[in-house]
Structure 1
Amino acid sequence: MSAPDRLVGREAELTLAAAALRRLGEGHAAALVVEGEAGIGKTELVRSIVEDSRAGGVTVFTGQAHPFERTRPFGVVAQALDLSRRSPDPRRAAIGTMLTSPREGQAALAAGRVQYRIVEDIVDLVEATCTESPVLLVAEDLHWADAGSLLALSVLARRLPLSPLLLVVTTRTSPVPAELVRLLEDLSTEGGTTVHLEPLGPDEVVALASRTLGAPPGPLLGAMLTKAGGNPLWATAVLRALGGAGVLHRTGGAVESTTSQLPASVGDLVVRRLSELPETTRELLQVTAVLGDAASVRDVAAVAHRGQAEVVTGLREAFDAQLLDAGDDRVVFRHQLVHEAIYEDLPALTRRLLHREAAAALMGAGAEPLEVADHLVRGAEHGDEEAVARLREAAAAASARAPLVTVDLLHRARSLLPAGHPDADAVSAELVQAQLRAGLVTDASTLAETLLARPHAPEVETPVRLALLGALALQNRVDEVVRVAEDTLVQSPGLPPLARVPVLAQQSWAHTYSGDHDEGAAVARRALAIAEDAGDAAMTVWALTALLVAVGRQGRYGEALAHAQRADTLAAEAHDTRSLPLQPRLFLGLTLFDCDRVAEARAAYREALDDEFGSGWWLPETLMADALVSFATGEWQDAVPSLVACGQAAQEKGSPLLLTQSLAYRVLIATARGDLPAARELATGIVEALAGDRLGYTAGILGSAVARLMTAEGDEEGALEVLVRCWRFEAARGDHFYDRCLAPDLVRLGIANGRRDVAAEVTDAVWAGVDRAPEVASVRSVALRCRGLLADDPDLLLGAVALARQAGLLVDHAGACEDAAGALAGHARRDEATALLSEALELYERAGADAWASRVRARLRGLGVHPGPRGPRHRPETGWESLTPTERAVSLLVAEGLTNGAVARRLYVSPHTVNTHLRHVFAKLGVSNRVALAGVVNRTIG
């Protein structure tokens, strides 16, 4: 019987599945979420999809979560993709090695980074398979799945929207874990379809019975089947049970029952069958149920203390009673409801004892702590010290691969220990650190504060305080970071000197980002002295990074660069790279960029990106920095995809400051291009950050973006107020980082709106900044530009233009040209004004800043000059010629069969960025998949 014939009453669902398979065959991604109660037919629908997919030449991967395997990191995905260290496929074997032994070959990766690497490698493996054929990936029973599998599936859905991948997941309607809710939301966001399986109607139940029996049910049997509530599994089980009992007979072309007695549920039916089996079979079934809905004969034998042959013989009658099926080397319950009925029929005490026995037997047979952790969680009782020790071992084993699993295991270990137990504080300290690694920073800080506030074991003082500092810093609770750091240094007199360095570094950053830059620098120098005295390279990098941030925010860019260069050199020599707090190449690039050394900065960012592909630790920050180079040099066709990628990575990391920063630059670009509706929509994501009583340390760029948009909409007074508020906030903190961004607009708008006092205040401040960074051309250019605007002095403004040309920052360069041209025109120096406006026009047109270019054209016409049509840099909107150089590079590599990850590594961008470029390419070329793209490439360049 074909799949559709088996599936009574599911015509609409089969139609949806067929549509998804058609899209898959056309090269489109899709996702189906199949929801419903146990026994409602989820597995049958999935089986139909799998059969149709295989018949259509689709590569099929299937995995299923199991009720007692939530502590197995990436269990569902590993099963589906056959990720085993013994796999003949080197890629699968490499991932399998990380899953089973993350410390092998991963010494340089801090805890939590292995999880990122595993996810990236899984995405790359699936995408590589998609380049060979369409792929169906099935993950069933996700209500039991581990957090790592849910994360991997979510990332696959977000990263591969342009690959021929059909993702099908099944879950019960409730209860649904929080991690699964996030996955379902991600699938919905990516256009996934939810199929909710409803109970069958009365006529459909009759049709199901007719197909099962070969004839329609009689009146009595039909009435009995209505008690199944439309659940096809229950209805089928009733028919099988009645048939097995010999109470069904044919009457006048129908099948009727000679009894009206019916168990109340599938569970009752199973229990009734169970009571009819021999005692040995019942005992073995109970042991099997405790091991899960599927268990190896070897494990059943170990827990039951019987030989494997004896187990096979003892379970034979359970197979005959249709309670079990065989699968590979395992026995499998015919349905999860059968497993649940047998498991729930066990008294709670018996279940607990059997789980504890299972844990002991499996560990005695050599099982790893993670393999038996679920049994320990369910089998241990309060005060079970051995179980606590084993759970801590399992938590340590899961730390790098699946931080959330570590948190769950330590929660259970902590709950098993009585108050005042000698190990209680140590377990709590481990839990704080695990929560921090898992990104549960609020939970980590709350538990750490609770632990430190009461009497506790002296040995946990330092690790808990260090974890608390990290959690508070991630929450941007800078005042509390300062206080906790001071308390740590005062209350821990026995703290080793080198352990004081990261405490001081955190305190330094807190001072800096709260606006006390002098104190931030002073504290960083204390840390630097300790690290240098000890001759420890890694700790010296900690201190130098804190110091360069403190002096950089003050506008002392040359000094910050010297510290960054030294930190970069020391980091290359450091042996303990796990203790390095930041990506030294990233911070070297940031300081190079601040010093107008843009090409060198980009080279540093590309090297940092190459490293971050393996860890992901600072990927969003590195993407942001690299995007700013593209923005600053006018390569906006590359800047926008990079900013989008940065925003996506920031969302994944939970970094709102980076997200709003990326939005601010996208607002600037949309405004410059004249796309004000898009700019307004993007600005909604940053207006809230500017509306509060307390601005953040990225207020300068957010204010600049909003002000430029308001100016474009004709609200110059409103724009000025936004800029003044952001400027005063920065000035009160002694923070000069965004002076170059804010000052020219402030001075110009201040003069235009009768606020020369503001213009003079800003001019004096940026002129003083030249003393802090006299070697930086853009700093001197902005100072001359503001003074020239205030004094209406064309020669000062011409000097600003000359310095802006040296700096090579497009927006500053073109803006300086416009300001100088305005002054020159006012002093009847028309030819010089015309030349500078033409220079600004060329810069804006190169970047695609059409609105700003139109403004310059209007000013040229006001001088009696009629600029020619737009240059050849303005590409057509569709076709191969419409692609940017980067889009062409991506297209060529994709046509070679490279995955997004491989393209990203080749071009030193991120897979997020490649996805964004491909979306643009598909739209411009009118193609819908990678195969069609390859065809266009081959026809164009072949």
Structure 2
Amino acid sequence: MGPVTPVYVGRQGETDRLRTLARRAVAGHGTAVLVEGEPGIGKTTLLDHLAADCAALGMRVLRGTAEDLEQRLPFAAIAACLGIGAATTDPDLVRVSGLLRGEEAFAQSLSAANHEFVLTEAILDLFDEWFARGPVAVLLDDAQWADRQSVVVLHRLGRGIEHQPLLLVVATRAAPRADVVDALERSLVSRGGRLLELAPLAPDDVLALARDLLAAAPGPRLAQLVATAGGNPMYVTELLAELAEKGALARDGGRVELVWDTDELAEGWVPPPLAELIVQRLGFLAPAVRDTLQTAAVFGRTVDLMELAEVLDRPVSELSEVAVAAVEAGVLTDTGTRLEFRQPLIREALIARVPPTVRAALHQRALRRVDPGGERVGVERVAEHLLAGDALDARMTDWLTETADTLTVRAPAQAVTLLRRALDTAPDAARPRLRLQLIRALLWQGLHADAERLARVALAEGGDPAQEGALYWLLVQACYRRGRLRESLAAIGDALERAPLTEVERGRFHGFAAVCLCFLGRFDEARTAALRAVELGEATGDARTAGIGDFALALTYVVDGDLERAMDADDRAIAALAEGVQPDLQVDPYTLRGLCLMELDRLPDADRALATAIAANRDTGGAYLPIAHTLRARLLYLSGRWDDALIECEIGLDSPDLLGSAVRLRGIADLIAVHRGGAAPAAEGDAGYAHHSSRWARALTLESQQGPAAAYELLAPAWERAHGLEPRPLVYRVCTDLARLAVAAGRPERARALADDIDALPAAHLRPSMVATARLCRGLADGDADLLLAAAADFQRAGWPLYEAGAYENAAEVLARRERPAQARQALDRALEIYGRLEAAADIARAEARLRQAGVRRGVRGPRKRPKHGWEALTETEQRVAALVAEGLSNPDIAAQLFLSRRTVQSHVSSILAKLQVTSRVELAVRAAERSASQP
């Protein structure tokens, strides 16, 4: 009998289902599929056939396999799908490849979470670009070994997949596997993903497989033996191959039957477990080939002949002959770009034959032979060898010292483990630098308490004076990232008093102290520290230090309400920080510029500045990303683009939140919900309102439940206690509702006091919205309709439609009391028309009720609600996005044109598809073309 060749039998139903889903993806209706089954059941073969089908359909096929040795290597599985390697030249992959290698990561972020966020967004951007060009198939095998970061990318790809030309197929063992893979399954299935369980082959299929493998029907005894394989196709294949190799099969007419000419195959013989069977199958290989394959198995699924040659001290040409023999034997497979074990079980069976001590010795030998710089194999590969070995010798300690920063970005968990191990055995001379690198790695991984503890130990023990400044700086950052700003300031004070700092370092400490003091509300001290930072930055020519100082100065001026001066200082900071800032100097002058412009009622300019801030923070993992989203959500709320504001809140809440922006985002969402007829949740006690927006939303709900007096009492602290980073010059917007509630509760003097307070704020006369707010409060207190109508005109100039409508509503009631019904009805109609555009159902109901009591009803037909479906249902932003989608632009391209984030565009696209009742971008483009052709 000749050799047995694997074939594919018994999976036609599964293949047809996947082929159908692939065709749907080509048409723009994406799907996720999870393929589950035991080892050897046919998952890999199924993906092989699917990859060929997808390629025939013209799809971009991204095929990868997760590795058990790379579970701690961030983004390893998705990088395998993308085909990113050491020699990646595809221009589409340049940015992602650079981020994976950690290029300039420390110049952008000092947090693994932020770097992971940047990488995830960059990968999703890449997919969006590909989706605009054509359909994509992502096929990941052995997902039970996928790293957490790759699983997050797959989860994010699953969002909105039904609207993308994407087929996502994840093949995994049912168990054992990591919790994150279980979570991925739940996530994809909850969004409509399919679960495809590969069951054992039916008895007839097992016989058909055996017949195809043997090119003849199995005899009765052989059929009985094959039935013991439990329907596992790999088991059947390996069993028949072993029997063929042992000469235990013979042709008998048109059949192949067992021949009982060995003791091993005596009657009643039961096949061994699959792993043992595989090892027995390899018995025919020459010992030298088998030994080489066992060594290769220790180093992973992919076989690197250059690495093996260095480890085994054998020429590559000789190992090439071994590789050819292994490929011919079906142990290895040549993918065209690399050699790898055909089945994970083959590698697992081989590696199980190598004792742990021998494995460690092989890794140690690899370390002695492999290029220590890791330029060819990658620093993470060298780290794998180190982790599998025992102690680090002096050579590898030196390597770790030189490459610690790169390794920290690429594989932070490995870096921390190795640096700790090195620190335990390093000579005294090497310890200070290793300890400094370990503290940085701990900060990167988010182990801030460990970083703080080690930094304090290092400073207490003393050591190299040249490193004291750096140690203090890392201590300051560790405390800051734990939210302990006072301890950060204490560490800065110690550094300035005790450490031998350069003038640049002193300026940097003063600048960071100014930022901390601002967040603590100690603005006079912050201004002093900021001015000192500017002084030292200018004296030393260090633009970044001066820029940090100017940023902190601008922040203090904003709090004072001196926006013109704040803009000047912020412009200087932007110019000084044009090349960015170090990750441990997290400031964002563009976000601050957006705030200033918004407070000056320059909303379009503010929108552009905040778009710039969001893009910069998103690309670098900046800590101010949620704040920028918060300010943009507030701007969209003020300008009446509430659907856009809600999307901004949703995206902001998904961002890494280091500075506590979540409460502000939820508060804005609550306000919109209440205006549209919902109810804000109650808090436990007065202290339960973490932000004045949440208190505000709850007060409006309370008004409809218990009346204006109760609502006023709940809302009043938002104004009375405004301080710190949200002082009265930034919180005065609550005064419009506060004054209305006060007058409705019979306390007009309080509305008058509010007007006086606002008039006393710095530069109040320069801001139309602030002038309008003061006029509204005074007009309510005095019952002056002209003041209220003037306030409405001011709010219109400021671009605040909700407030404009509120001024008209209040004016209508005053006019009605003054027996001017025609003007009252006109003002009411104007208010209701604006409320209708905003879909502010609660405000419409309140205005109509107030005016009914005054004897006035609307003079026109009620405001027409925006329909729920069709082109008329689209908001202004959605119409613009739809037009660009119809032109074939990708989400990142649309985002760049409209000053939005990619995630914002994705949310808009999902909303557009739902409103137009289409299910793909392709259908949207067709509908848009038909609509354009039908219009004159």
TM-score normalized with structure 1 length: 0.85
1:233-248 pair list within 5 angstroms: 233-248=234-249
Q: Over residues 888-941 of structure 1, what are the superposed CA-to-partner deviations in whole Å (9 max), with x where a residue is unaligned?
A: 222222222211111111111111111121112212222211111111122222
Q: Which of the residues 456, 468, 473 maps onto 1:466?
A: 473
Amino acid at match of 2:722: E
Residue 733 and residue 597 in structure 1: after superposition, are their counterparts in 2 closer, same or farther (change >3 A)? closer
| Equivalent in the alignment of 2:671 | 668
**In structure 2, C-alpha distance between the alignment counterparts of 1:229 and 1:413, rounded to whole Å:** 48
Taking structure 1 as reference, are residues 886 and 778 closer, same or farther at Cα in structure 2, changes over 3 Å only? closer
Residue 18 of structure 2 aligns with which residue? 17
Letter in 2 for 1:735: P
Give the secondary-structure state (helix, strand or coil) at the position aligned to 2:594.
helix
Distance 1:751 1:421, change over 3 A: farther
**Structure 1 pair 531/781, CA: closer, same or farther in 2 (3 Å)?**
farther
**1:538, 1:576 within 8 Å by CA — same for their partners in 2?**
yes
Deviations 1:62-84 (CA, angstroms, capped at 9, x unpaired):
11233445677654444433446
Distance (Å, rounded) in 2 between the aligned partners of 1:377 and 1:456? 28
Report how far residue 452 of structure 1 moved: 5.8
With over 3 angstroms needed to count, the CA separation of the structure-2 counterparts of 1:652 and 1:804, relative to structure 1, is: closer
After superposition, the Cα gap between the structure-2 partners of 1:914 and 1:447, relative to the gap in structure 1 and judged at 3 Å, is farther
Separation in 1, partners of 2:208, 2:714:
70
CA contact (8 A) 2:719 2:728 kept: no
1:286-327 alpha-carbon deviations (Å, 9 max, x no partner) = 222233222133332232211222223345654565433344
The code of the aligned residue for 1:600 comes to: D
Tell me which amino acid in the other structure corresponds to 1:426: R
SS at match of 2:802: helix
How do 1:875-890 residues align onto structure 2 when only pairs under 5 Å count? Answer: 875-890=866-881
Superposed CA RMSD in Å reads 4.2
Q: Aligned partner of 1:308: which letter?
A: V
Deviates more, 1:200-209 or 1:838-847: 200-209
Q: Does 1:595 align with 2:600?
A: yes
Q: Is the 8 A contact 2:164 2:920 kept in 1?
A: yes
Q: Say whether the 8 Å CA contact 2:600–2:767 is kept in structure 1.
A: yes
**What CA distance in whole angstroms lies between the structure 2 residues aligned with 1:4 and 1:272?**
17
Aligned positions, number: 915
- Structure 1 counterpart SS, 2:856: coil
Counterparts in 2 of 1:555-566, with a 5 A limit? 555-566=561-572
Pick aligned residue for 1:548 from 530, 551, 554? 554
Residue 610 of structure 2 is aligned to residue 605 of structure 1 = yes
1:281 paired to 2:281 = no
Structure 2 distance, partners of 1:844, 1:144, is 54
> Relative to 1, partners in 2 of residues 1:516 and 1:92: Cα closer, same or farther, differing over 3 Å?
closer
Higher mean C-alpha displacement, 598-607 vs 257-266: 257-266
Change over 3 Å in CA distance of 1:294–1:799 after alignment to 2: closer
Please tell me the residue identity of whatever aligns with 1:396: D
Partner SS, residue 883 of structure 2? helix
**Take 1:866 and 1:317, find their aligned partners in 2: how far apart are those partners?**
89
Give secondary structure in 2 for the equivalent of 1:358: helix
Worse-superposed segment, 138-147 or 728-737:
728-737
Residues 1:493 and 1:99: Cα distance change in structure 2 (over 3 Å): closer
Q: Is the 8 A contact 2:626 2:655 kept in 1?
A: no
Mapped contact 1:363–1:372 kept (Cα < 8 A) = no
Q: Call closer, same or farther: CA 1:217–1:21 in 2, change over 3 Å.
A: farther
**SS of the residue aligned with 2:727?**
coil
Aligned to 1:353: 361
Q: Secondary structure at the match of 2:424?
A: coil
1:701 is aligned to 2:693: yes
Aligned partners of 1:456, 1:250: CA distance in 2, in Å?
81
Distance change in 2, residues 1:12/1:691 (3 Å)? farther
How much has 1:589 moved relative to structure 2?
1.6
The share of aligned pairs that are identical, in percent, is 30
Output aligned runs, 1:331-346, within 5 Å: 331-346=339-354
Q: CA deviation at 1:363?
A: 0.8
Match of 1:892 in 2: 883
CA distance in 2 between counterparts of 1:477 and 1:536 reads: 28
Classify 1:472/1:19 alpha carbon distance in 2 versus 1 (closer, same or farther; 3 Å): farther
CA distance in structure 2 between the aligned counterparts of 1:801 and 1:326, rounded to whole angstroms? 74
1:658 counterpart letter in structure 2: S
Aligned ranges for residues 187-226 of structure 1 at < 5 Å? Answer: 187-188=188-189, 190-197=191-198, 212=213, 215=217, 218=220, 222=224, 226=228
* TM-score (normalizing by structure 2): 0.85
AA at the equivalent of 1:636: W
Aligned residue number for residue 162 of structure 1:
163
Q: Secondary structure at the match of 2:33?
A: strand
Q: Structure 1's 576 and 508: CA in aligned 2 closer, same or farther, altered over 3 A?
A: closer
Give the letter for the 1:639 counterpart.
A
Q: What residue identity is the alignment partner of 1:162?
A: H
Q: How does 1:510-529 map to 2 (within 5 A)?
A: 510-529=516-535
1:730 aligns with 2:722: yes
Q: Which moved more, 1:14-23 or 1:839-848?
A: 14-23
User: Residues of 2 paired with 1:630 and 1:767: CA distance?
Assistant: 26
Pairing 1:908–2:899 present: yes
Q: Which amino acid aligns with 2:922?
A: V
The match for 2:414 is 408
How far apart are 1:46 and its partner, in Å?
A: 2.1
The structure-2 alpha-carbon separation of the partners of 1:329 and 1:732, relative to structure 1 and needing over 3 Å to count, comes to closer
Q: Structure 1's 878 and 159: CA in aligned 2 closer, same or farther, altered over 3 A?
A: closer
Alpha-carbon separation, structure 2, partners of 1:810 and 1:706 = 21
Q: 1:630 aligns with which of 627, 636, 644?
A: 636
C-alpha distance in structure 2 between counterparts of 1:713 and 1:448, whole Å: 55
Secondary structure class of the residue paired with 1:363 = coil
Residue 304 (structure 1) aligns with:
312
SS in 2 for 1:417: helix
Query: Hey, what's the Cα distance between the residues in 1 that align with 2:451 and 2:187?
Result: 26
Correspondence 1:218-617 to 2 at 5 A: 218=220, 222=224, 226=228, 231-248=232-249, 255=257, 258-259=265-266, 260-262=268-270, 264-273=272-281, 277-314=285-322, 318-319=326-327, 321-328=329-336, 330-363=338-371, 367-370=376-379, 372-398=381-407, 403=409, 405-418=411-424, 421-422=427-428, 423-437=430-444, 444=451, 461-490=468-497, 492-572=498-578, 581-609=586-614, 611=616, 614-615=619-620, 617=622
The amino acid that maps onto 1:38 is P
CA distance in structure 1 between the partners assigned to 2:475 and 2:826 by the alignment:
59
Q: Determine helix, strand or coil for the equivalent of 2:847.
A: helix
Give the distance between the partners of 1:204 and 1:713, measured in 2 at CA. 69
1:282 partner letter = R
Matched AA of 1:49: L
Distance 2:780 2:425 in 1: 70
Contact 1:860-1:867 at 8 Å conserved across structures: no
Q: Which moves more between the two structures, 322-331 or 664-673? A: 322-331
Unpaired runs of at least 5, structure 1: none
* 1:151-183 residue CA offsets vs partner (Å, 9 max, x unmatched): 543443347552110111233445545665665
Report if aligned partners of 1:218, 1:254 keep a CA contact under 8 Å in 2.
no
Distance 2:453 2:178 in 1: 22
Structure 1, 525-534 or 306-315: larger mean CA deviation? 525-534
C-alpha deviation, 1:30, in angstroms: 1.5
Whole-angstrom distance in 2 between the partners of 1:656 and 1:586: 14
Question: Which piece of structure 1 moves more, 471-480 or 301-310?
Answer: 471-480
Q: Secondary structure at the match of 1:131?
A: helix
For the Cα contact (< 8 Å) 2:824–2:856, is it kept in 1? no
- SS state at 2:303 partner: strand
Are the aligned partners of 1:356 and 1:375 in contact in 2 as well (CA < 8 Å)?
no
Q: Distance in 1 between matches of 2:275 and 2:329?
A: 14
State the alpha-carbon separation in 2 of the partners of residues 102 and 404 from structure 1.
10
